[in-house]
A and B are shown apart, each in its own frame.
Chain A
Amino acid sequence: MDRIAQAFQSRKNLLNMYFTAGYPGLHDTLPLAKALVAAGADILEIGMPFSDPLADGPVIQRSSAAALANGMNLPVLFGQLERLRAEVPETPVLLMGYLNPVLQFGMENFLRKAAAVGVDGLILPDLPLDEYEEQYHALFRQYGLKAVFLITPQTSEDRIRRLDSLSEAFLYLVSGPGTTGGTTLPDADAQQAYFERIESMNLKTPRLIGFGIADKAGFDRACGHAQGAIIGSALIRALQDADGDASGTAVRFVRGIKVDSYK
């Protein structure tokens, strides 16, 4: 069984922590990964910074710009990730990013490198589903990498069924309209109805909820409707004020979310 399936089978209320590679410091990527897992993160989502992250709000835009200014790019990242499985042996790791840098690196080259360093899955939000199915699905399989697809409140039932049937990892439920790190609460009734609609569909694929989840209350609420949740911008905000102690900040952040596990 692969690491992602194993995590969903053996754990409940999974916490998927997103952070931007090369932020706050170029060499913080692996220490942060290790610290997040040590503190209780169940899945890691490592952001590959891009100059024009369309689906991201200001917090991740800034961390991405800072990481690029620090010198992060795909060759550097894969160099760092050579020690990934020495530092983080069991935890599922996903790479998240936009298509253009991946295409410039070369899709097959990218998949080969990702598989070689022990990455389990990929989130490429602007890779169209048709192109994935026709051009890349076989390649993803060849390298044993799982694609994670997004679902939003506007995604049609037919399309959700198609995403569910194509999915080999988990479905990423976008909590409401907006980019990552939104601070305005979406309409609670509409959100409740959306989560319940998805729950009633009896999908084969497990689900994590993301976008706008910032604290323990948000995490607990998401866990009521899915197998867990994804947190990103809130950690990045904490790291902005880390003052040289990125790992310690990350540990404190995750412990604040998973405080029940420590009781």
Chain B
Amino acid sequence: MTSYQIPTARGYYGEFGGAFVPEMLYPNVEELRTRYLDILADPGFRAELQLLLRDYVGRPTPLFEARRLSARYGTRVFLKREDLCHTGAHKINNTVGQILLAQRLGKKRIIAETGAGQHGVATATVCALMGLPCVVYMGAVDIERQAPNVARMRLLGAEVRRAESGSQTLKDATNEAIRDWIANPVDTHYIIGSVVGPHPYPDLVARLQAVISEEMRAQLLEKTGSELPNYVVACVGGGSNAAGAFYHFLDEPTVRLVAVEAAGHGIHSGHSAATSVLGTPGIIHGSRTLLMQDEHGQITEPYSLSAGLDYPGIGPLHAHLGASGRAEFIGITDDEALAAVSELSRLEGIIPALETAHALAALGQLGTGPDDVVVVNLSGRGDKDLETYLKNLDKLI
């Protein structure tokens, strides 16, 4: 059986992936490609990463059996508490690994893109920890709707630069970060925040997030007597938390993998980010994957109330999981996600991030029974979304 985990030498998962970069980026990407596996396997790197994940990030994160939520859905629901990571989301698993990688590549400056701000905060955090200058590109629209995270990044010493082009959201922030890398090809490392971009980024980020499912297996064994659940559910924008939650189950065919996308006002409403349904194969940010585009190959603007899910593509791994049938995709609307925010807050005393709430809202659509074990990756906490929640109180209560 071919593994779903490992892309080909050129970074392909099935027909998706690759490295479609202009010559200006080729040396940067090639340097990373030729060195990342050796660095990741180096015992010194691994020891330093393990120590930081434990003592700085706070890993392992708990696997919590959500009894009231389980009763509500008539199935056994576990929550993987990535929201308890330092900085409030899974994003820091990747940035801790990449900053150690950047140091070993001799890089002196860090750039990143951010949508909801979680990846920007996680990058600014590790840059402060390591004393490296940090520039985070963020869409002007996202700067408005995620003000607390903008303040956090600035407090951490990062420079937040506005991306003013296009829809002024995550896609455009990514464009600007890539242009910065073109202008600063020697001393700068680009810490990309999801399993997107040219090879080797999707594989690099998936490997760094895989700690999520590695821990899940050990914790499930302890709590249920089996390492394998019946379902793993995670939200997908670019797809880094889903890649991490799925990773060590990808080649376990009895485990059903559920990727939850933002359907905005409804998948076919014209205001949606459900790429697996609305997307067609094409090239975005250096990767061949499914993306939302018009008939002429112009990339279109996705919509979601959630700033972390309105990306017009998905990682090539997820495109392949969808095309091959290994994962199922579910679309959740803004309103369904908001209802899930309210439900988890009141049933379990946990206020989830709006992105994460999309995964929780899928619980009612899985057709699970009382004997099923379902793990939802609780990828982030809701602090950053309080303003959005306050504006939508009528839908929350």
Binding site for B on A (CB under 8 A): 50-52, 54-55, 57-58, 61, 65, 68, 73-75, 98-105, 125-128, 130-131, 149-152, 154-156, 159, 174, 177-179, 182
Contact = CB atoms under 8 A, between A and B. Distances in A.
Contacts of B178: 54
A126 B22 contact: yes
Contact of A177 (B22, B182, B283): B182
B283 A128 contact: no
A152 B24 contact: yes
16 contacts: A52-B284, A54-B22, A55-B182, A65-B165, A73-B296, A100-B284, A104-B282, A104-B296, A104-B297, A128-B20, A131-B18, A149-B23, A150-B24, A154-B26, A177-B186, A179-B24
Given A104-B282, A126-B286, A152-B24, A51 B299 contact: yes
B166 interface: yes
B2 interface: no
Nearest to A105: B297
Nearest to A153: B185
A101 B297 contact: yes
Contact of A102 (B182, B295, B297): B297
B11 to A, nearest CB: 10
Interface in B9-26: 10, 18-24, 26
B319 to A, nearest CB: 15
A58 B184 CA distance: 17
Interface string B273-313: 00000000011111000000101111110000000000000
B23 A152 contact: yes
A126 B21 contact: yes
Contact of B186 (A75, A100, A149, A154): A154
- Please give me the 8 A-B residue pairs with the lowest Cβ-Cβ distance, nearest first: A104-B297, A101-B297, A125-B22, A150-B23, A73-B296, A154-B27, A178-B183, A51-B298
The bracket for how many chain B residues form the interface is 20 to 34
Contacts of B285: 52, 54
B297 A52 contact: no
B286 A51 contact: no
B175 A52 contact: yes
B22 A182 contact: no
Contacts of A55: 22, 24, 182
Nearest to A62: B165
B296 A155 contact: no
B21 A100 contact: no
A34 B254 CA distance: 65
Nearest to A72: B296
Contacts of A74: 296
B90 interface: no
A154 B184 CA distance: 11
B171 interface: yes
Contacts of A150: 22-24
Given A52-B299, A150-B22, A155-B27, 6 more contacts: A100-B299, A103-B297, A125-B24, A128-B19, A154-B186, A156-B27
B346 interface: no
A151 B22 CA distance: 10
Q: Which of B27, B171, B175, B283 has the most CB of A within 10 A?
A: B283
Q: Which of B286, B297, B298, B300 has the most CB of A within 10 A?
A: B297
Contacts of B179: 54, 57, 179
B23 A151 contact: yes
Contact of B282 (A54, A103, A155, A174): A103
B67 to A, nearest CB: 47
A100 B283 CA distance: 5
B21 A68 contact: no
A125 B23 contact: yes
Contact of A68 (B18, B171, B286, B298): B298
A100 B293 contact: yes
B171 A155 contact: no
B283 A126 contact: yes
A79 B165 CA distance: 29
A149 B23 CA distance: 8
A103 B289 CA distance: 13
A50 B298 contact: yes
Contact of A99 (B20, B175, B299): B20
A102 B286 CA distance: 15
A51 B302 CA distance: 13
Contacts of A54: 22, 175, 178-179, 182, 285
Contact of B182 (A100, A101, A179): A179
A192 B63 CA distance: 59
A154 B185 contact: yes
A55 B286 CA distance: 12
A79 B254 CA distance: 54
Given A99-B283, A128-B21, A150-B24, A52 B182 contact: no
Contacts of B296: 73-75, 101, 104-105
Contacts of A103: 282-283, 297
